[in-house]
Amino acid sequence: MRLSFLGTGAAGGVPLWGCECAICTRARVDTSVRRQPNCALLEAGKTRLLIDAGVMDVAERFPPGALDAVLVTHFHADHVQGLFHLRWGKGALDVYAPHDSEGCADLYKSPGPLKFTHLSKFEKRELGEVSITAVPLVHSKPTLGYCIEHEGARLAYLSDCRELPPATLEFLQRWQPHTLCLDCTFPPGADQPRNHFDLLETVALAQHFPESEMVLMHIGHKLDAWLQDRPDALPAGMKLAYDGETLICIGVP
Amino acid sequence: MRLSFLGTGAAGGVPLWGCECAICTRARVDTSVRRQPNCALLEAGKTRLLIDAGVMDVAERFPPGALDAVLVTHFHADHVQGLFHLRWGKGALDVYAPHDSEGCADLYKSPGPLKFTHLSKFEKRELGEVSITAVPLVHSKPTLGYCIEHEGARLAYLSDCRELPPATLEFLQRWQPHTLCLDCTFPPGADQPRNHFDLLETVALAQHFPESEMVLMHIGHKLDAWLQDRPDALPAGMKLAYDGETLICIGVP
């Protein structure tokens, strides 16, 4: 099972508009440190799933038939804005998403080829060669994480969240992901209130999953800046995701 | 006064996702015939106004200070989606828009640097070296056209619309634009109901403005295809806009 990160940034991406911090200034000239909004491509056998659609060229990257489905974590614009363009096109694309009566803009009113299916908490589906289980997350909008299994390999994609509901934590502890991709927007000590994990919280959570590879995503410029000054701050088994990076997730026998 | 078209396409742009018509097929390999969603840059003296923000790289094209303001015609995603990314950035940007309690997605809830001012029908403002008058249009959402004047040159930008209210038509006939940019999404005989002009309607409207240069925009792939087969179909004084094209509007003494 392969997970390719197309966008690993928090809502505004990196560089942030008008921000003159060292990270954003560098990102304007060094595209390798840019972070687009949230989006990842999961490939397992012949199955291709897009997780979120924050990048703006989804229509160009994925013509009809290139994806089996889209898994939407929630309906904030930076997670679904790449779907807007598809709506006046031809064909059909299954989109799995949480129950959210608002949606985003007029995605529901004018869905065009997008065929929305709303998943309930802990609902399990077989999509091509993978099985997915939708797990509830605590964020500022109804939000689902996705636990994805293929030939014994287990990958959890949890974004956006500021907290795991106890039932989600219990599920994950039973399920034991080999790879756990987690919202980590802020460095330690970010201002309250907020709707995303900071690094201290992800490190604390990682202690529940000593066997898992922890991959941090939905990263804000302040976390990049904080880590640039502290290159050894991440514990063993934890790393940042980068745009364009591909993870391989193989079940350990 | 210069108007540069950054996007001249209808909602899905050209090529449309999954469409295999001759125009969309060609646009996939010939970027010169692509049409991005609605967006234009107006420059007059030192004043720079963005009209709509349908292109997705507004944040990259226009750093803080590069624009004096954005004029939003209405809150459909294909006219404002380029503003989403700016919201987590630094600085400030004035955005003039119609009264619309819905807005689009969470633009109002999380405006960040976007400073919204809602204009009333026929409200006039001085913005830098130009004066703008907001004129109501009939569309499926509250919508304003913008009549822009600079040193005696008058340009009207009217998108999206299926009909001009009588008071708007009267205003325009008094005001006598030198250049009139007009929504023309469909070829003649498009299916009903719809919320945009077709070519027959724009040709009929043009008869009220014999002295104006008529420029058609918000163009759907079906109009491009129809005109490709009928290269002489446009009357004298009427032309299509193209992405990347710049109009010069000079007041005739």
A69 vs A250, which has greater pLDDT? A69
Nearest residue in chain A measured CA to CA from B61: A17
**A181-223 confidence digits (pLDDT tens):** 999 999 998 776 789 999 999 999 999 999 999 999 999 999 9
From A94's Cα to the closest Cα of chain B, the distance in A is 15
- pLDDT above 80 (res B224): yes
A37 DSSP assignment: B
User: What is the set of domains in chain B, with CATH numbers?
Assistant: 2-248 (3.60.15.10)
B57: which chain A residues are within 8 Å (Cβ-Cβ)? Answer: 56
Contacts of B230 (CB under 8 A, 6+ apart): none
pTM, two decimals, is 0.95
B195 DSSP assignment: S
Kindly provide the ipTM of the predicted complex, given to two decimals. 0.93
Q: How far apart are the C-alpha atoms of B63 and B90, rounded to whole Å?
A: 10
Q: Do B17 and A113 touch (CB under 8 A)?
A: yes
User: Which of 59-88 (B) contact A at CB < 8 A?
Assistant: 59, 63-64, 76-78, 81, 84-88
Q: How far apart are the C-alpha atoms of A85 and B11, rounded to whole Å?
A: 7
**B200-212 confidence digits (pLDDT tens):** 999 999 999 999 9
From B105's Cα to the closest Cα of chain A, the distance in A is 4
Q: What is the mean pLDDT of residues B117-133?
A: 98
A104 and B CB contact within 8 Å: yes
Which single residue is written with the structure tokens 């640097």?
Answer: B113
Beta strands in chain A (DSSP E): 2-7, 39-44, 47-51, 69-71, 93-98, 114-119, 124-127, 130-137, 143-150, 153-158, 179-183, 213-217, 238-240, 246-248
Supply the pLDDT for residue B203: 96
Say if residues B17 and A113 touch (Cβ distance below 8 Å): yes
A111 and B CB contact within 8 Å: no
For chain A, give the percent of residues with pLDDT over 70: 98
Q: Do A77 and B106 touch (CB under 8 A)?
A: yes
The least confident of A93-97, B87-91, B243-247 is B87-91
Q: Do B16 and A105 touch (CB under 8 A)?
A: no
Supply the pLDDT for residue B253: 59
Closest CA to B56 of B76, B83, B74, B30: B83
Say if residues B213 and B156 touch (Cβ distance below 8 Å): no
Per-residue pLDDT band at A252 (split at 50, 70, 90): low
Nearest residue in chain A measured CA to CA from B77: A105
Select from A61, A80, A88, A222 the residue whose CB has the most chain B CBs within 10 Å, as the one to mutate to test that interface: A88
Which single residue is written with the structure tokens 């974590």?
Answer: A73
For chain B, give the percent of residues with pLDDT over 70: 98
Q: Do A87 and B12 touch (CB under 8 A)?
A: yes
- pLDDT above 80 (res B198): yes
Per-residue pLDDT band at B231 (split at 50, 70, 90): confident
- pLDDT above 70 (res A114): yes
Q: How far apart are the C-alpha atoms of A63 and A57, rounded to whole Å?
A: 11
Q: What is the mean pLDDT of residues B11-20?
A: 95
B225 and A CB contact within 8 Å: no
Within 10 angstroms of residue A224's Cβ, the number of other Cβ atoms is 22
Supply the pLDDT for residue A191: 73
The mean predicted confidence, pLDDT, of chain A is 96
A12: which chain B residues are within 8 Å (Cβ-Cβ)? Answer: 85-89, 112
Using DSSP's 3-state secondary structure scheme, residue A219 falls into strand
Supply the pLDDT for residue B189: 84
